[in-house]
Structures are given as structure tokens and as C-alpha cells.
Amino acid sequence: MQSKRIAGGLAVSLLLATALSTAQAADMTFDRAVNADKEPQNWLLHHKNYSAHRFSQLKDINTSTVKNLRMAWTVALSGYQSGGRYESGNLEVTPIVENGVMYVTDGWGSVYALDVKSGRKADMLWKMDPGTDRAWAGDVACCGVNNRGVALWKDKVVSIALDGRIFLINKETGEMLWERKVGEPAVGETITAAPLVVRDVAITGSAGGEFGIRGWLDGTDLNTGKQAWRTFTIPGPGEPGHETWKDGKNHYLHGGASVWVTPTYDPELDTFYVGVGNAGPDYDPDFRPGDNKWAASVLAMAPGDGKIKWGFQYTPNDPYDYDEISEHPLIDAKINGQDRKLVTHGARNGFYYVLDRANGSFVAGKQYIDKLTWATGLDPKTGMPLEYDPKLDVQQYVKGTVANRARPNGDVKCPTTTGGKNWEPSAYNPDLNLMYLPTAEGCNSLVMQAQADFKDQGGTVNPRDRFTGGSGKPAGDVTGAIKAVDPVTGETRATARWKYPNWSGVLATAGNVIFAGWLDGEFKAYDGKTLEELWAFNTGCGIKAPPISYSVNGKQYVTVAAGPFFLGTKPPDLKNAATCSMVYTFTL
């Protein structure tokens, strides 16, 4: 591990100036995090605020002026470099910006501090390279080498690395103060989500659902660098929900239910909301009879001790790999004249959900994806798929769409295995009262292969072996869209379509402009009401990262990272697309 500093007389001047400015800046306190929206010039939290609105109150860039947007600066990161089997890491980072300093990561977990105060260039102040063991961690990075960003705490930066470590870094110098081993690649665990910091606890989770892990959430005490708590997402013996693993062979110990997206948080209820991944093995539901809680669910948890307050499962006994790890935005709204505190979710399974965030009760749900065939709807009382049968240990859902041991080749089902909506974050414009969902529109089928047990349960599967029980088969083109939906009813109000899935996520702004990137390098701006395209710029390489907006000296900027994407799912016409590792920033 190393921290690199720029050299020379000019470098010394820049560093001294930056040290002075950061020393004068306020520490990142809990109160400041709760009130992050009161600093519209900054982007202080991963999702902009604890509620995951990803909404910038800045409005100089608006529907009238966005046509004049131009590039302000760009900077290359070193995620593209020799790495053996992994020549590059993905760029799925959400940058953090505080008082003209941007903190951004590459896919391998290097943290870069960039001075962006001039508005004309990004001066690299320092780089912290965690020295990730690339092959060791990359071999169990299911779907690409990723790092989605950092968090701020006091006068420090909190970051993670793919090989299971969490770090505390000096914000002024880039010096690593301590590291803690949280995940273990030896058993298939990796960490890719930006930490959620609540008070003095940094919350992380384990990816690795395709390698037979048992998912968990973990709290690190940032004052000591030691574990504060750990909670498994699959309940063990004596815990509520354990009875939903009915195999009789302790398969829950390798049951998946991973976590790899930053949770949301309600300070009033002191509760965070985290999406949980698929059950393992993905496509052999006979291996794991029962509902398999809390896979494909949302959990409401206490940040101080990690206790589960309630859970809601979207797809019981999920046979489709519809894990629901993505963000759960929080909104307040009137329903039937009553004020309600709500948690929402654009699910990978193709339905949009609204739940009461105090108790998890189902409020509303509606299909948002163009074509959905695995279920015919949701029960208006329970929110369960209409075809869900609580008497069955292995769910069938719509006939033919499930691949299982009785019928290993499933019919075409929609949406695709990747969703609907995957990890890519939504955005919410409270002024227009619209939620923007990035989507993939298409279908596929599944082929089931009977899954063998792990060696510790009398089988042949080793730790770090792939543990999926089958695979997916394409069924036609998969395109993409951004859907503007009513956040309470899920009704679609407007749609913008493109020829590729949206894997970048969305930014909403008070200028009523929506920004999103696409796999062909197109970075586009849309009218927030109509989703009419207003502006576009091609970066030359695929975009899989969410945009942000900030301001310096009263001038608004929009930033997006553009870099490699998982080669196994490249659209055919992009097979020769350029690979890069860049950060682009635009202004008027």
C-alpha cells in the first residue's frame, strides 16, 4: 500500500493551499450528513443525501441552458493498467465533492483526491493505492472488478478494497491511518459498495452471492478500527426466518444473500434500509426449498447494533436471480389523506414497490418494465406475486418460466436476469414529484444444472468455486430506457429509450434536467418532465457510473466517470469499443 504525492515547488504550494482550505473546512459530522442538502455546492454522501434522492438543488444548468454545456476538464485515472487476467477495473464510482476537492476511486480501490477549484482542470493532490491482490480478489468478483466510492467522516476518508479491507485515510495527505480486514476472498467474499457512515460506524456488506457465501452486514467503529457488530442476512438457527430454509442440510451456510450497494438511512427512525441479493445457488431452487429469507429482500436495521427491525421479501424462493441489492429511496407522502413515511424500490424483478418504512407493510406496487411474464401482478394486500403459493416449498410462478429439476430448460421470461433495474441508482426530483428509474428492457431464459454440495457439507464444491446451479440464455436484443414514475403509485409518466441498457444510473437536478450515461459512451441530458433529449456528448468509452453535480465559486458542474464494463455482457456492436479510465466534467 502506498500514498503518492505530486512533486516539485508547484506541488508544495498546491498541497499547502489545500491543507489550509481543508483545515478550515468543517469536519464531516453526523449533523452535517443529516443536513447534506443544505450544502448544494457539495456532494457529501454517496446518494447525495441519506434518502438516496440523487437530486442536486443547483439549477444554473436547466432546460433552457443545458444546450450550452461544454467540457470543463477531464482526468485519467490509472484503473487501466496491467493486472494479469484483469487488465482493468470497472468505473462505477460516485465521486464525493467537498469544498472544491473531489474524492474518486478506480475499480481496484485506489483513492484519488483532485483539486477542482479552478474549474479548468483537476490537480491530483494525492493517491492512495491499497495494493489490492488482483487475481486473488478478481477471481471471485462475480460481475466485474468494482469499487463504487468512498465516504467522509470527521477529517478523514473511509474507503474499501475488493479484497475485503476497509481503510481510514487522512483527508489532507492521503496517508492510510489504519486498515481492517472485513471480507475474506478465500471463501468468495469481496467488497464493492461505498460505505454508509452513520455517526461513528461505517457499514459495509459482502458481495459474492455466486460463490456460496453467507451474506452479512458489518459495522466498523471508526474511532477504534474494530468491529462494532455483524449481522448475517440469512438467519441462523433460532432466528426468525431460519425456518424458510427447508433443505435439512444447513444449505443456508452457503445461501448467498449478498450486499453490494450502499444503504439508505432515516435519522428520525434511526434505521437504515438495505437491499439483499439472490439466494444461492441462483438457478436451482430445488437445492434450497422454502422462501429463503432474507434473500431478494429489503431489511430495515439499526445502525448502532445491526439488529434487524423488519424485512420484506420481493421474490420468495427466487429462481430467476432477481436479487434486490439496489438503493431504496425514502420519501414522505400523503396516502388517502394520511402522512406516510415510505421506502420505495424499483426492483430487479420488474415491479416498483412502496412500503411503510416504519413497519415494512406493503403500500403499493406496479409493473414499471415494458414486458413482465414471470408473474401476472402483485397481491394488493401483501405485495407478494399473485402466483406465489405459501404451501409450496419450490415456487413455480408463471408456468414454464422457472427452470428446475423437473424442467431444466425454462421458457423465455421477462425481464432479463439482470433486471428490470439492477444496481444502477435511481433519482428523485421532489419539485416534480417524479422518480427516475434506469432500466434494461428485454427477456431471456434459464437452464438449470443440479448443484452439488460444498465439501464441508459432503459434496465436491470448493470455496471460491462458482455456485450458480445453471446459467441464462439470451432471447433477443436487450435495450434500455429511463422511466419517470409517480413515486407513490408507480405509474409511468414519461419514457426515454436508447438501444442499450442503462447501466449508469441517473442524476436529477433543480433545473429539471436529468443526466444519464450509456454503454456506447453517450452522456445525455433530458427534460425532467417529458424526458425529451436536450443535449448529448460522446465520451468515447462506455459509461457505467452515476453522474453528480456540484458547484465551485458559484459555478455549476456535472461530472461522470467513463470506463470499462464487464466484457461478458458487451452488446455485439460494441465488442471493439475503446477501454479507458476517465473522469469527465462539464459546465456552461
Among 208, 202, 199, 194, which residue's Cα sits nearest to residue 161? 194
**Whole-number Å distance between alpha carbons of 149 and 561:** 11
Residues 69, 586: contact at Cβ < 8 Å? yes
Residue 451 CB contacts under 8 Å (≥ 6 apart), including other chains: 281, 284, 287, 461, 467, 468, 469
Q: How far is CA 537 from the centre of its chain?
A: 24
Q: Which residues of 55-78 are buried (b: 16+ CB within 10 A; e: fewer)?
A: bbbbbbbbbebbeebeebbebebe
User: Nearest to residue 586, comparing CAs of 60, 59, 119?
Assistant: 119
Active-site residue among 321, 323, 370, 527? 321
| DSSP three-state, residue 186 | helix
For 133, counting Cβ atoms within 10 Å of its Cβ (0-12 exposed, 13-18 middle, 19+ buried), the class is: middle
Q: Grid cell 496517508 — which residue?
A: 175
User: What cell numbers appear for 216 in the block?
Assistant: 452479512
Question: What does the angle CA 108 – CA 425 – CA 529 come to, to the nearest 5 degrees?
Answer: 145
CA dihedral 13, 18, 24, 27 (to 10 degrees): -150
Give ∠ CA 214-220-224 in degrees, rounded to 5.
145
Decide if 285 contacts 404 (C-beta within 8 A): yes
CB 496 within 8 A of CB 505: no
Kindly state the DSSP code that residue 149 receives in the 8-state scheme: -
- The total of other beta-carbon atoms located within 10 Å of residue 532's CB is 12
CA separation for the pair 542, 517 (Å, rounded): 8
Strand ranges in 465-569 using DSSP code E only, listed in sequence order? 470-474, 479-485, 492-498, 506-509, 513-517, 522-527, 533-538, 548-552, 555-562
> Distance from CA of residue 201 to its chain's centroid?
20
Reply yes or no on whether 123 is catalytic.
Answer: no
Euclidean distance between CA atoms 222 and 74, whole angstroms:
33
Active-site positions? 321
